[in-house]
Amino acid sequence: MALGSGQQPRSRQRGCHWKGAVTSSSPVKSRGGWMAMGESGREEYKIQSFDAETQQLLKTALKDPGAVDLEKVANVIVDHSLQDCVFSKEAGRMCYAIIQAESKHAGQSVFRRGLLNRLQQEYQAREQLRARSLQGWVCYVTFICNIFDYLRVSNMPMMALVNPVYDCLFRLAQPDSLNKEEEVDCLVLQLHRVGEQLEKMNRQRMDELFVLIRDGFLLPAGLSSLAQLLLLEIIEFRAAGWRTTPAAHNYYYSELSD
C-alpha cells in the first residue's frame, strides 16, 4: 500500500423515488444537543451570510412563518447551500428551526414539503449538476446528508431520504469520483457524519458501498496518496464500530494539532 512516508490527512472541516416524503403528520424532531437558530452566535452568523432582504425573509419565517412564502424560503436555502459549501454543512439546523416554527404557529408542513420537493429535483438532475459544477455537486451531497442528519419523523430518520443519500454516496465511490480529492473528502466526511445512522437503516447497502470503497483503495488507478489515506481511514472507522480508536487517531490526525 503506497500511502507515502509519514503522510497524514490535511485539516478538514467536518463539520430514488421519494413517495411518502411529506405524508406523515408526525412532528419532525432533531438530534439532541444543538440549539435552534437565533440562540447562538453561530446561527446568527448563518443569517448574516445572506443579503438584507433575504435575512428579513428568514427571520420572518422563524418568527411568523405564516407571513411569508415558505416554498420560496426553501428554495432560497437550497440555492444558497449549492453555492456555499460552509453553509451547506450546517443548513439542516436552520431548516429544522423553520419546520419547528411552522409546526408551532400553523400546524402545517409547507416548508418541509417545499424543501423535500426541491431536494428531489436536484437529486434527479445530480449527474447534470456534477458535470456542470463539481463544487455544487459536493455542496448538494453535503446538504442532503445534513438534512438527513437533523430532520426526524417520530424520532427516526426520514425514510424518504435513505436511498437518495445512499445513491449520492455510491456516486462518490465510483472510480471517476475517487480520482478527485474533493469528492473523496466529501464521501469520507459524510460517512463520518451519517454512516452509522445509514447502516442502521439499510445494512446491505452500506456493505455494498464499502465494497466499492475497498476496491477503490486496493486498485488505486490514479488515486492520490491523500485519497488512499482517506479511504483507509473510513474503512478502519467503520470496522471499529464507527468510532476512532486511540491508535487510529494518533496515526491519522497526528499533524492536525501542528
- 49-153 with 155-252: one CATH topology? yes
Q: Tens digits of per-residue pLDDT, 116-151? A: 999 999 999 999 999 999 999 999 999 999 999 999
pLDDT-based confidence at residue 98 (cuts at 50, 70, 90): very high
Domain extents for the chain? Answer: 49-153, 155-252
Residue 4 confidence (pLDDT)? 34
Half-sphere exposure of 52 (CA within 13 A, CB side): 0
Determine the pLDDT at residue 216.
Answer: 93
In this structure, what is the dihedral angle of CA atoms 206, 207, 208, 214, given to the nearest 10 degrees?
A: 110
Q: What is the mean pLDDT of the chain?
A: 82
Is residue 204's pLDDT more than 90? Answer: yes
- Single out the residue of 65, 168, 60, 150 nearest to residue 114, CA to CA: 65
C-alpha cell at 258: 501542528
Distance CA 199, CA 243 (A): 14
CB 93 within 8 A of CB 150: yes
Considering only the top CATH level, what class is 155-252? mainly alpha
Res 183 pLDDT > 90: yes
**Count of C-beta atoms within a 10 Å radius of residue 5:** 6
Q: pLDDT at residue 248 above 70?
A: yes
Nearest to 209 by CA among 194, 225, 224, 226: 194
Higher pLDDT, 252 or 3: 252
Say which CATH class 49-153 falls into: mainly alpha
What is the reported pLDDT for 220? 67
**Mean pLDDT calculated for residue range 12-39:** 38
- Give the confidence band of 44 by pLDDT, cuts at 50, 70, 90: low
pTM (whole model) above 0.95: no
Cβ neighbours for 89, distance < 8 A, ≥ 6 positions apart: 13, 14, 15, 142, 146
Burial track 213-246 (b if 16+ CB lie within 10 A, e otherwise): beebbeebeebbebbbbbbbbbbebbeeeeebee
